[in-house]
């Protein structure tokens, strides 16, 4: 949303973001001197928020309202009968509950639905939502912000005590069951056990030197840390918590791992690819649209530690090949998933909707 709003501002549009003033998004927008309209939505049935949004739209006479969360989308009926076009972006690929509410919100209360991947569009289709109202526009990032530098790499590696000959495997994201961080821990346990038994070594014949860096926080963190200790892996796992400087951590890494059970698209993977890292990811949802297996990364079955272990070994044993995967992935995201490209696609859709307005 921040990148889209920046683009719209540069393009000469008047674009306001309705969001809680105390949130990180509002702070970033205000830092960039972009307009924020204060609006907090407590839940899907927040009538006060709906009334405030309706009053705001009538006062400012907006041409179009773009909802970016399910909770925001639930306010769409409050704009009924106002001369404003409405659209919603859906980012999740899990099935929508079929029923009158989904038909009402998606079929009658918005003019268009933006799906960030074909997987998300397919999930919408299972709820009998017409293809004519769905447009696929992926999420985008400022790919230039993720170009790694030697100074970033050295600083982060020094911070965590990683030597330059250590292979750093990075996972970034919220520590929840949906992201399946246990998969990496179990894969690491298998890899560590095999290495101790002498089954795996690098190209020089030395035992592999691997470290695992986990950027992110969430309800599973205590459980994950306990599991790491139980497996005797506390010395090789580093739980960094929420990392503000993601690009620097990506610069310090050699391999990126993303193993969710489902995923609408995977912005964390886009960022890792933009940094030129070889990525090992689950073959689920929109991740298959980011990665072509063995061309721009590696795809494995979801929640399969053995497959992840084997994929990591391939990258560690063949570092030049892994770097080639990263370079190909980087070229792909620069072309298809840069914020300028995706923001222009949203802008074009806005014009299309306004041209079709009665």
The percent of residues in the chain predicted with pLDDT above 70, rounded, is 96
* Rounded-to-10 torsion of CA 244, 246, 252, 253: 130
Is 153's pLDDT higher than 80?
yes
| Average pLDDT estimate for 245-262 | 96
The answer to whether 118 and 285 have CB atoms below 8 angstroms apart is no
What secondary structure letter does DSSP report for 238? E
Distance CA 80, CA 90 (A): 20
The average pLDDT across 20-29 equals 95
Per-residue pLDDT for 214 more than 50?
Answer: yes
Closest CA to 145 of 244, 14, 39, 22: 244
Q: Answer whether 50's CB lies under 8 Å from 77's CB.
A: yes
Residue 201, pLDDT > 60, answer no
What pLDDT is recorded for position 192?
Answer: 86
Computed from CA positions of residues 78, 80, 84, 85, in that sequence, does the dihedral angle turn out positive or negative?
A: positive
pLDDT in tens, 334-349: 999 999 999 999 999 9
What per-residue confidence (pLDDT) applies to 68? 96
Domain 143-336, CATH number (from 3.40.50.720, 3.40.50.2000, 3.40.1410.10, 3.90.950.10):
3.40.50.2000
Instruction: Provide the 8-state DSSP code for 294.
Output: T
In angstroms and rounded to an integer, the radius of gyration of the C-alpha atoms of the chain is: 22
Strand bridging mode 298-300 / 36-38: unpaired
DSSP labels, 5-21:
HHHHHHTT----EEE-T
Please report the pLDDT score of residue 195 as a whole number. 62
Q: What is the DSSP letter of 176?
A: S
Q: Which CATH architecture best describes the domain 2-140+338-355?
A: 3-Layer(aba) Sandwich (3.40)
- pLDDT one-digit tens code per residue, 282-293: 999 999 999 999
DSSP of 144-212:
GGG---HHHHHHHHHHHT--TTSEEEEEES--SGGG-THHHHHHHHHHHHHHHTT----TTSPPP-EEE
> CA-to-CA distance for 332 and 315, rounded, in angstroms?
20
Residue 117: pLDDT band (50, 70, 90) is very high
CB 117 within 8 A of CB 138: yes
Residue 98 confidence class, pLDDT cut points 50, 70, 90:
confident
The model's pTM is 0.90
Looking at residue 74, what is its pLDDT?
96
* Number of helices and strands in the chain (H, E): 15, 12
Q: Smallest Cα–Cα separation from 302: which of 261, 257, 348, 350? A: 261
Bridge partners of 280, per DSSP, are: 257, 298
User: What residues does each domain of the chain span?
Assistant: 2-140+338-355, 143-336
Contact 19, 39 (CB under 8 A): yes
Q: For residues 101 and 128, give the distance between their C-alpha atoms in angstroms, rounded to a whole number.
A: 12
**∠ at Cα 32 (27, 33), nearest 5°?**
95
């Amino acid at each position: 949303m921040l990148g889209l709003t920046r683009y719209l501002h540069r393009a000469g549009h008047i674009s306001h973001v309705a969001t809680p003033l105390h949130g990180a998004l509002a702070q970033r927008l205000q830092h960039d001197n972009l307009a924020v309209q204060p609006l907090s939505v407590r839940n899907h049935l927040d009538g006060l928020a709906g009334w405030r949004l309706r009053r705001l739209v009538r006062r400012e006479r907006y041409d179009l309202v773009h909802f970016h969360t399910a909770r925001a989308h639930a306010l769409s009926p409050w704009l009924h009968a106002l001369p404003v076009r409405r659209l919603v972006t859906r980012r999740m690929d899990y099935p929508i509950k079929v029923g009158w509410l989904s038909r009402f919100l998606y079929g009658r209360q918005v003019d268009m639905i933006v799906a960030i991947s074909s997987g998300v569009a397919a999930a919408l289709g299972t709820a009998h939502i017409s293809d004519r109202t769905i447009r696929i526009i992926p999420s985008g990032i400022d790919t230039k912000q993720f170009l790694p530098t030697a100074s970033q790499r050295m600083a982060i590696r020094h911070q965590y005590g990683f030597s330059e000959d250590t292979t750093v495997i990075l996972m970034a994201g919220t520590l929840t069951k949906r992201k399946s961080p246990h998969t990496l821990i179990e894969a690491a346990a298998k890899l560590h056990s095999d290495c101790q038994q002498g089954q795996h070594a690098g190209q020089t014949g030395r035992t592999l030197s691997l470290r695992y860096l986990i950027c992110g926080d969430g309800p599973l963190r205590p459980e994950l840390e306990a599991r790491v200790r139980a497996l005797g892996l506390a010395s090789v796992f580093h739980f960094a918590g929420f990392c503000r400087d993601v690009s620097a951590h990506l610069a310090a890494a050699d391999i990126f791992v993303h193993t969710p059970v489902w995923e609408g698209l995977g912005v964390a993977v886009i960022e890792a690819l933009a940094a030129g890292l070889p990525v090992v990811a689950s073959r689920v949802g929109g991740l298959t649209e980011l990665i072509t297996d063995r061309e721009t990364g590696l795809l494995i079955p979801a929640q399969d530690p053995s497959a992840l272990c084997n994929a990591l070994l391939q990258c560690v044993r063949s570092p030049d090949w892994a770097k080639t995967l990263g370079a190909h992935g980087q070229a792909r995201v620069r072309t298809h998933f840069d914020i300028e490209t995706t923001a222009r696609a949203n802008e074009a859709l806005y014009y299309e909707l306004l041209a079709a307005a009665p």
